[in-house]
Amino acid sequence: MPPRDLHTPETFADHFSANAPGYARFRPRYPMALFHYLALRAPGTALAWDCGTGNGQAAVGLAERFAQVVATDPSAAQLKLARTHPRVTYRVATYDSGLEDTSAQLVTAAQALHWMDVNEFVGEARRVLQPGGLLAVWCYSLCKITPALDELVEFFYRVTVGSFWPPERRLVDQGYRTVALPIDELDVPPFDLMADLTLPQFLGYVETWSAVQRCLASRGRDSFDAFARSVAERWGHPLTLRRVNFPLHVRAGELR
């Protein structure tokens, strides 16, 4: 098992530790084609740093192409459930990678940049990246299934739990395009992020939303359970697999 430094870092806005098991179980896996692309565009594949790794989804994918991956997250609860990999080292940290200067060829933040102080993150990335190193960030926005189901999901997302979204969520809705990143931006090709889910798996995913967690804490389960019943009426048999598409937005380039 890779080493895990699980001391708690400085205070941070923690939206996911309370449901870390659900996050690890139900969040979609990133496409391997994305990691192949990043490995080809980076100046080497010796070392990558994944900041805000959560349960290590991106880190484990990167480890298929990089000799060593250091994956950091401020949530010890998330890292305790992270997927193990012999080339991934997990550390509890916010922006302190623990890496030597100019030692990494790639720095990533997967579905995490909107929770970060961008200046702190970029500053550490600039320190650890070697000349020509690559910075890559990505997120996925509201999923799509079928028009009938999308109608229910969008109403739940924007209206039922709309007031519970932290303000940072708007950056995801905008595909990170409004985040000022000092990079020479690449023309990144589109990548598909899809999963075939049963009804329980899809509802498990929705329950990991930060807004849903805040709604449950404030109002209890009534709103979520009503949504689940509405979705069930249009889903069909609960074990029917439906293709869920998560629009994936990737920005990458060399730091200026």
> Residue 49's beta-bridge partner residues?
70, 107
Say how far apart CA 109 and CA 52 lie, in whole Å: 6
Our separate counts of H helices and E strands in the chain read 10, 10
**CB neighbours of 147 closer than 8 A, spacing ≥ 6?**
none
pLDDT by residue for the chain (256 residues), tens digit each? 343 333 333 444 554 555 567 657 888 999 999 999 999 999 999 999 999 999 999 999 999 999 999 999 999 998 999 999 999 999 999 999 999 999 999 999 999 999 999 999 999 999 999 999 999 999 999 999 999 999 999 999 999 999 999 999 999 999 999 999 999 999 999 999 999 999 999 999 999 999 999 999 999 999 999 999 999 999 999 999 999 999 999 999 999 9
The burial class, CB within 10 Å (0-12 / 13-18 / 19+), for 148 is exposed
Q: What is the CATH number of the domain that holds 174?
A: 3.40.50.150
Number of domains present in the structure of the chain: 1
85 is in which domain, residue-wise?
4-255
Residue 61 vs residues 90, 154, 207, 223, 234: alpha-carbon distances, Å = 14, 30, 24, 35, 34
CA–CA separation, 81 and 77 (whole Å)? 7
Dist. CA 33–CA 129, nearest whole Å: 23
Q: 1: Cβ–Cβ under 8 A, 6 or more apart, which residues?
A: 84
